[in-house]
């Protein structure tokens, strides 16, 4: 049972990182984008990534327990609180024009004078992943989870640097020009209150759904 638990964990880990290293790089990614179209590729890749992530989290839960630090009740509050900015960053950072990272839409419409959340968070998905991983590391002080969440934290930090370098190379002088204009933006006076309300509602619903599904998908009640 012990060997099976570690084997499943290692295989899930290998598949997760292989999918992120192979499917998003040439020559595989261009072939998939041509076959599925950009929107189809993004949808399929997102669903696949979430499925493999769920497999990896469950595999970590079922791996042999090797304690690194002891659990205390206060530690559960860390992810409960941290998941609020996690949901807000995703709700306000995904699906908006963002030429600096992935997860954006209609990037040709990006207005550096009105950058929104992108002014402070160029890589919303990776920043959200960093918050999620560090927050969940605190109450999970066993070897399998320390490796899991620690790896995701490092992955998100390195990913930001790698994407910055790639975008600078692809965009050339436009990258620095847009970053400078974005940092100098003072904020727009014509706030889109409807979009603000909708995305705020999406953030709240996302938090409730994730918390509600957590016992069924992960097997742990975050409020217990």
Q: 142 has which bridge partners?
A: 67
Q: What is the pLDDT of residue 133?
A: 96
Check residue 188 and give its pLDDT. Answer: 54
Assessment of whether the complete model's pTM goes beyond 0.95: no
pLDDT in tens, the chain (224 residues): 466 789 999 999 999 888 888 877 788 888 888 888 877 887 888 889 889 989 999 999 999 999 999 999 999 999 999 999 999 999 998 888 888 887 777 878 888 888 888 888 889 999 999 999 999 999 999 999 999 999 999 999 998 998 899 888 888 888 888 888 888 877 655 667 888 899 999 999 999 999 999 998 888 888 87
pLDDT of amino acid 102? 77
The whole-number pLDDT of residue 63 equals 92
Three-state DSSP class for residue 67: strand
**Segments making up each domain of the chain, as ranges:** 1-64, 66-224
Give me the pLDDT at residue 137, please.
96
């Amino acid at each position: 049972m012990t060997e099976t638990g570690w084997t499943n964990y290692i295989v899930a880990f290998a598949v997760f990182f292989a999918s992120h290293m192979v499917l998003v790089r040439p020559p595989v990614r261009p072939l998939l984008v041509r076959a599925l179209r950009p929107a189809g590729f993004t949808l399929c890749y997102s669903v696949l990534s979430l499925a493999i992530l769920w497999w990896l989290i469950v595999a970590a839960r079922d791996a042999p327990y090797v304690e690194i630090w002891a659990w205390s009740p206060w530690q559960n509050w860390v992810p409960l609180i941290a998941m609020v900015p996690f949901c807000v960053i995703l709700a306000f950072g995904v699906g908006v024009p963002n030429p600096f990272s992935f997860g954006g839409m209609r990037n040709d419409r990006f207005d550096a004078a009105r950058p929104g959340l992108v002014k402070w968070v160029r890589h919303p998905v990776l920043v959200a992943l960093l918050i999620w991983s560090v927050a969940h590391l605190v109450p999970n002080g066993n070897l399998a989870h320390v490796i899991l969440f620690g790896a995701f934290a490092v992955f998100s930090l390195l990913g930001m640097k790698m994407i910055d370098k790639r975008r600078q190379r692809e965009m050339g002088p436009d990258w620095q020009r847009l970053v400078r204009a974005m940092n100098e933006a003072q904020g727009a006076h014509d706030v889109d209150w409807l979009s603000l309300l909708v995305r705020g509602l999406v953030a709240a619903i996302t938090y409730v759904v994730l918390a509600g599904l957590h016992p069924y998908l992960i097997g742990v009640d975050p409020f217990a």
